[in-house]
Structure formats: C-alpha cells, structure tokens
C-alpha cells in the first residue's frame, strides 16, 4: 500500500508578494472607484511595489496610506489605511476580501473630482533607504471619523487591517 503525501511550503517571499499585490490592487480599485485619476497611480505603481515589497520583507513596513485631499486647501477629504500586522498564533491562510473594501467605498462616497491623492508608506525606525522615497507629513485627520473594516488581506501569519476616514 502506498501513501501520497502532499506538502505546501509557504515562504516569506510568497507572503510578501501576495500582500504587496493585494495592497496595490486595493489602492488602484479605491482610486478608480473614487473617481480619481488613475494615471498617476499607474505611472508610479512600480515605485510603490518596490517600496512595499522591500519594507515588508525587511520587517519595517508599518502601514500603507492613501490620502485624498483638496489641492486648493491641502486639507484631507478621505483617507484609507492598510495597517500591517503579524499574528504569531498560527497560519491564517491566504485570502483577500475586495468586496468588503468595495462595500465601504460605496458608503464613504466618491471624492470630489478636483481632489488629488498621495500614497504614503509608514515605516518603523531603521528601514533601508530606497532611491526616490523620502519622508513626509501626514495630513490632519481631526475633522474626519475613522471606520474600521478589520482584516481584508491575509497571507500566512501576516495581514493588513483596513480602515477609512471620512
């Protein structure tokens, strides 16, 4: 009698690639479905991918933020946060919930067409430098209210909790 045993090895490279891809897909969907111009995101997607992958792999990625702002006042109109976490309690599997993000995007409503946006990556101290990336200040959220969706991206023991400000 023979037994076939199948094993799957999840490397951290798989986790990094999966989370990066799903974060970028989510950001693109939010930008598009908010009625914002996708061209700037498309032009810089490679830079965003390098930043997220590098800092996720090095353990320095804290969160990815999409700020939607009024360019005449520079004030924040909406904001989406993807907070990274590591759960040491075991394998959470690989899954992604774009429908939850889409549902909450509809609740948040479209941004005014004049709005601009910025993708910001927040890192932990000691992060490696990447050419083209520099520090910046986050816009004030005091006039907005935060709503938390919970985990929308999961890969093994690493995931991202999503929230938005409106």
Q: Do 20 and 82 form a contact (C-beta atoms < 8 A)?
A: no
Provide the pLDDT for residue 89: 65
Would you call 4 helix, strand, or coil by DSSP? coil
- Over residues 107-147, the pLDDT tens digits come to 888 888 899 999 999 999 999 999 989 889 999 999 999 99
CATH number, domain containing residue 112:
3.30.900.10
Q: What is the dihedral of CA 117, 76, 138, 30, to 10 degrees?
A: -40
| pLDDT given for residue 90 in this prediction | 58
Per-residue model confidence (pLDDT) at position 7: 45
- Per the domain annotation, does 133 fall within a domain? no
Give me the domain span that covers residue 42.
Answer: 12-125+140-165
Residues near 94 by beta carbon (within 8 Å), at least 6 away in sequence? 10, 18, 154, 155, 156
Query: Is the CB of residue 48 less than 8 Å from the CB of residue 132?
Result: no
Q: How many domains does the chain contain in total?
A: 1
67 inside domain: yes
| 134 assigned to some structural domain | no
Write down the pLDDT at residue 6. Answer: 44
Q: What is the pLDDT of residue 113?
A: 83
Half-sphere CA count of 152, side-chain side, radius 13 A: 26
Distance between CA atoms of 143 and 151, rounded to whole angstroms?
25
Residues of the chain with pLDDT under 50: 5-7
Phi and psi, residue 135, nearest 5°: -75, 160
- Report pTM: 0.90
């Amino acid at each position: 009698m023979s037994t076939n045993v199948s094993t799957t090895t999840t490397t951290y490279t798989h986790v990094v690639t999966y989370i990066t891809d799903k974060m970028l897909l989510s950001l693109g969907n939010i930008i598009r479905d908010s009625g914002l111009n996708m061209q700037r995101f498309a032009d810089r997607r490679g830079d965003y991918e390098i930043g997220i992958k590098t800092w996720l792999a090095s353990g320095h990625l804290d969160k990815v933020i999409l700020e939607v702002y009024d360019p005449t006042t520079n004030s924040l109109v909406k904001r989406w946060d993807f907070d990274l976490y590591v759960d040491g309690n075991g394998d959470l599997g690989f899954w992604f919930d774009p429908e939850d993000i889409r549902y909450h995007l509809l609740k948040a409503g479209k941004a005014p067409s004049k709005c601009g946006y910025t993708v910001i990556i927040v890192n932990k101290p000691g992060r490696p430098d990447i050419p083209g990336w520099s520090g910046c200040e986050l816009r004030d959220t005091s006039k907005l209210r935060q709503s938390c969706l919970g985990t929308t991206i999961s890969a093994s023991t690493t995931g991202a909790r999503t929230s938005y400000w409106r």
